[in-house]
Each structure stands twice: as C-alpha cells, then as structure tokens.
Amino acid sequence: MNEAEATAELEKLAREIAHHNRLYHADDAPEISDAEYDALVRRNADLEGRFPHLVRPDSPSRAVGAAPEGPLAKVRHALPMLSLDNAFADEEVADFVARVRRFLKLADDEPVALTAEPKIDGLSCSLRYEKGALVLAATRGDGATGEDVTPNVRTIADIPRRLPSEAPDLFEIRGEVYMSKADFAALNARQAESGGKIFANPRNAAAGSLRQKDPAITAARPLRFYAHGWGEASALPADTQLGVMRAIERWSVPLSTDLEVFTDMAPLLAFYRGIEAKRADLPFDIDGVVYKVDRLDWQRRLGQVARAPRWALAHKFPAERAQTTLVAIDIQVGRTGKLTPVARLEPVGVGGVTVTNATLHNADEIARLGVRPGDRVLIQRAGDVIPQVLENLTPDADRPAYVFPDHCPECGSEAVREEGEVDVRCTGGLVCPAQRVERLRHFVSRHALDIEGLGLVHIESFFKDGLLQSPADIFRLHEKRAELIGRERWAETSVDNLLAAIDAKRQPPLDRFLFALGIRHVGEVTARDLARRYGSWVAFEAMVDRALAIRRGFEPTLGEPERKAAQRRDAAVVAAVETPNIGPEVANALLDFFDEPHNREVLAALFAAGVAPADLVWQTKESPVTGKTLVFTGALETLSRDEAKAQAEALGAKVAGSVSAKTDLVIAGPGAGSKLKKAQELGVEVIDEAAWNALVAGAA
C-alpha cells in the first residue's frame, strides 16, 4: 500500500468509525456488531502504525465515545472518562504486560500485579460525592463532556445517596449502569403489553432508561450499578487498585464478586477462560475481562494515550454463533439509494437473544456465501446488534443462485453499480419514495438540523398526504397551518410548537446544514472540516464553483494513460477543495452533488423559503507547547523516553527524532551529544530534565 491509498483508507475509516461511535454512544442504536467495529478500529491502528505521519486530527485512535447531543444538560468531567484498548488473543495480553515493563523500565523478574474483573456491557456513569453526599451523576459522553443524569441516578437502589464518614471529602465513583437479563425480558414484556418501545438488548434498555428527561420513567425501570473505578478524588483510601475498590465496596457500592489480583500469566488467563465459560449463566451481559495494573503509582507513571490508559486492557470474548434457516432475502433502500440485502431467518436463540434478521452486506457477499432462501446458515452475534451470516451450510443444494435485483424495489428505477464500488444504488434520487422520505428524515435528524417534533412517523404521514415533498416544504409548512390543525394527534398547540421549532432552525450552523444535505461521503466530521475551512456558505459555494470549473475544464495530455489522467484530475480537484483530511473520493462526491441541477434546485428552494446557514466562528485554545516541535536527547533519569514523549504529546507538542531549523525546544539529559551541539549551533532553546518536569507540572 502506498501513501495515497493509506490516506484515502484512513479518511474512510475515520468517517465510518465516527458514524458507528455516534450510533452506539449517542443514539443507543448500533447497526454493526462489536466484532465488525473492532475490526475497523484495528485496521485503523494498523495503518497508523505503518504510516505514523498520516495520523489524522480526527483519528478514531484519539476519540472516546460520542459527544452528547440529547435534551439533557451537558457536564464537563473533572477528569476524562477514557475508553480501553482491546485484546483478542492471549499473545496480546502478554504484549500488554511487556509494554508495561518496558515503559516503567522494570526488571524482567519484577512481578506486575494485575486486577481482573468481568467487563459489564452497560452505560458508563460517574458519581460525584462531596462531603459524602451525591451531588452529580453524568454519562461518559465523548469522554470530556457527558450528560447530567443526577435526578435519574438517585432512583437506582444500588447507588447510595451518601457515603460513610470515612470516605474522602471529594470522590468520584465510576462504573456501569446496567439491566439484568431477567429484568430486561420482563421490561420488554410490559412494553409489548402497553404498546411501548421494544428494546433490542439490555444495554440499550439501560441507556434509554437512564437518559430520560422524566426521572419517574427511570424509577420505573429495573436499573442496577456496578463500580469499576474512580475519577477525581481529594484523597485515596489505598495505594492499589484492589485496595481502593474494596474501600468502595465497604461504602455499600456494588462491584463485581469476580474481582481478583494475579501476578502470573497462566492463572490470569485461566481466570479469563473461567469467566468466559460461565458467561451465559451470569445474570447480566458481559463482553470480556478487564485487566488493570494494581499499583497506583505505576498507573500514574504509565499515564494515557489519546483515548485510553496505558495501565488497563479489555480482553474481549469471541463472538457467539448459531445455525438456522434463511427464509428470504429482502432488499432495503437507504437514503442514498443503496440497496442493502437483509436475511430473514427462522428465529434462533443466540446468547440469550432471539435473532430473526442478519445482514448480508451487499451483492458480493451474497455471491461469496452462495446463499439462497432455504439454505441452512451459520450466523454470528458479536454484540447486541443485527448479526451477520458467516457461512452457508448447504452450498450444493439443487436450487438456482440468488439474482441481485437490477431495478429499485421501491420506484422501479435502474439500480447500478459504479466502477470500483461494492454497493448497488438506485438512480431514482428524489424521485424514489424511499430516498425522498429518508432524505427528509436525515435532513431533520438530531445530528443535522435537529427539528424537534418532526420525526419519521410525521414525515411519512406528511409525505403520503402531499404536505412534504422536499426539504424546502418543511419551511413552508406555516402556509398550511390550518390544514395541519385537526390531523390525527395534531391540535393547535402541537402545530404551533412544530412551526416554532422549524422557525428556530432557519439559520442552522454551516456544518449541520452541509451534513443535512445528505451528500455522499460527507458525514459530520467532513462537514465540520469544510465549515471550519470556509466559514460561510458564500465562501463555500464559491469554492465549489471554482472546483467544478477546474474539473469540467480538465483535459488529459495527448497519449496520457487514462488512469494517470484521472489521478491528475483528482489531484487538481483536491487542491481546489483545499480542505484538510479531504481526499479525491470525498472531493468528487461533493462536486457530483453540486453538479446535479436538481440538487441546486433543492438548495435554491431552501434559500427562497428563508433558510440561511449561519457563518461558523471557530476558536482554538492555546497551551504552552501546543504546536511546537520538541526533541529529547541524552539520558533521562526520572522517566523513560516513552513516558517523556507521552507527556509532550499530552501537552499538544510534536516530538521529533532529530534537530532542525523547525525544532522549537530541546530537552537534554546527561550524555547529550550531536543533537545538543546542533541545537546550540541553530540557536534552539535547550532545557534540562528538571526544567521539563517543572514545565509539565505547571501545565497540569
């Protein structure tokens, strides 16, 4: 793989992972399995390891969860709530321990004690106690900012309102809010009887129950809590992970009964196998075992990378599998026209959940598996989401192969597969009912214009009755106020509330407006990059027109190979778009959208209806060494080189391996040689290790 290919794939991975992070953490509605998500993250990490200079500012390796965007108040965490790095094989656990030894410069025979406990699949929550009283409870959110769920948490019996007098004056207990398997089944039975929402799994049920605006709803749900750590604290009751956890247990806060300490690899892995063996019999869902360095002084020295501590690791369990019969293959049409095949299955229990559907991804996957209705198939549930078909167990059955449709099942338009693409797409665009409804739904969705009160049910109803056909019609609904009043479930007050919510979105932020348009490959992150780069719709549209003129006027040189000409054209397009992290695939998709006359007509209609995207004002916060290039040279006496580099990167600096005119600061220890000499020749500032430690302490 060359750098251009790596850059394009890293861009694609950043979009995909950000999308799935939002669905899982913010929407409680994941659409891929844990195993598929983990594979994306591992692929991203592999590419970043091979091309470290291509690591993106929005890299998934630097992200935790997803930013909260619901109706609850936002809370800034005193200390970040981090994620965990994952391991899937015994060798990766051994590598983790070896990395700890290297980082801390430990002797090969010095024991490294690790705590081990089951990883509960719930919603992360932080409980802040001051003077013994519970004063704040918050979800993890994006690790830095969560949602205030204090009134809701006060309804959970497992969580004490007060800690005993022995607890420190300030102490944040962190853990998981979850729902037991039995309580989940009973809740869904009650929901079915009352016609309420049926939850997909216990984790989603717990998350949805905790994040309610009305605490009475939370109080009616059977939520539980397990502690697994802590955040900010004025003092600690012990100097080991296990010691602090036992103190939390004495304060009447539940924690896992399977919490042990190990110093040898063999019993540690035996513990993992034992937990895996009894996984199905546990009263709650777990998806692995978490290991943590027991000594807190070592934890402090190890510190963290962008999204995870160096002193902890999640050892994940393999996926759960089962056999069943494929009854039918249905084709769903998405908002971008993508035709997605879904396997309809004979119901089968997998890991305590009844599965009736599985993803088949695309036409290539169907061909690879050779599946047809009537086949016996092996399915995998690697998380609490729609499973995947792994294998066709009857490939030689005497039935014709499945033929993927070449016309859209919704509108009858031709369905085509572009060169180099795996997906088949409907060409109907806004003519296709499936796409029009989906595009309208996307336009008003939480992460786009976020128009409260205009959900999918209302959009479908308004579309069916001719009230909504395009995004501009949303902003003309006030002209049909009389027609809206009197519709089922629509009284005068509810109609006026909807119209007020629509009016409040006539000047949406530029990035949200760009995302709302549903441009292929332009997700939230890319829309934000474009908005930051151009700041206003006028400047953005001017760039689009310039880039389109360049692309339309491109002429290959005489005799130039087609591929070479396409590469030169794409390079010119990327240069014209002139936005960090945007490569040829996204740039061309952006221009394709604006090159379609009907899309320009949609925009013109929106502007005529009074929509005017607001200019984006972007502010950055400076820190002492943010953006500076540092070089460490010579021996470091109080910390390892990895630890020093981690400190520098945590302060926003870049660490280089050699001194040049671009170097801003050199930290020189005993034995510094040629690098120190070159720094002195270039007039680069030089400090010693003590000064560096003081700088780090001052920036904390």
- The active-site residue, picked from 74, 105, 119, 645, is 119
- Cα-Cα-Cα-Cα torsion 535, 589, 23, 37, nearest 10 degrees, comes to -120
CA pair distance 409, 421, nearest whole angstrom = 20
Distance, CA of 39 to chain centre: 13
Cβ neighbour number for residue 4 with a 10 Å cutoff? 13
CA pair distance 158, 180, nearest whole angstrom = 13
The answer to whether 119 is a known catalytic residue is yes
Contact status, residue 379 vs residue 322, Cβ threshold 8 Å = yes
Contact status, residue 483 vs residue 467, Cβ threshold 8 Å = yes
At 186, the amino acid letter reads A
* Residue 446 token pair: 């939480």
- Which residues are paired to 687 by β-bridges? 667
Q: What is the largest CA-CA distance in the chain?
A: 84
Contact status, residue 187 vs residue 222, Cβ threshold 8 Å = yes
CA pair distance 330, 356, nearest whole angstrom = 13
Place of tokens 């409040």: 504
Q: Phi-psi region for residue 372, left (φ > 0), alpha (ψ -120 to 50) or beta?
A: beta
Element (H, E) at 44: helix 34-50
Q: Where are the beta strands (DSSP E) in 188-337?
A: 224-233, 260-262, 286-293, 312-316, 320-333
- Which residues are paired to 421 by β-bridges? none
Contact status, residue 148 vs residue 211, Cβ threshold 8 Å = no
Burial 478-499 (b: 16+ CB within 10 A, else e): bebeeebeeeeeeeeeebeebb
Contact status, residue 284 vs residue 181, Cβ threshold 8 Å = yes
Q: Between the CA of residue 672 and those of 9, 315, 635, 662, 693, what are the distances in Å?
A: 40, 41, 7, 19, 18
- Cα-Cα-Cα-Cα torsion 143, 147, 149, 150, nearest 10 degrees, comes to 80
| Cβ within 8 Å of residue 333, ≥6 positions away | 339, 340, 408, 409, 410, 426, 432, 434, 435, 438
Q: What is the Cα gyration radius of the chain?
A: 28
| Cβ within 8 Å of residue 493, ≥6 positions away | none
CA pair distance 330, 328, nearest whole angstrom = 6
Element (H, E) at 398: none
Number of H helices, E strands in the chain: 25, 22
CA pair distance 679, 588, nearest whole angstrom = 45
Cβ neighbour number for residue 198 with a 10 Å cutoff? 11
Place of tokens 């016609």: 195
Contact status, residue 124 vs residue 141, Cβ threshold 8 Å = no
CA pair distance 272, 316, nearest whole angstrom = 10
Contact status, residue 8 vs residue 42, Cβ threshold 8 Å = no
* Residue 295 token pair: 């000594």
Sheet holding 286-293, edge to edge: 86-87, 312-316, 286-293, 114-120, 260-262
Backbone angles phi, psi at 628, to 5 degrees: -90, 155
Question: Which residues are marked as active site?
Answer: 119
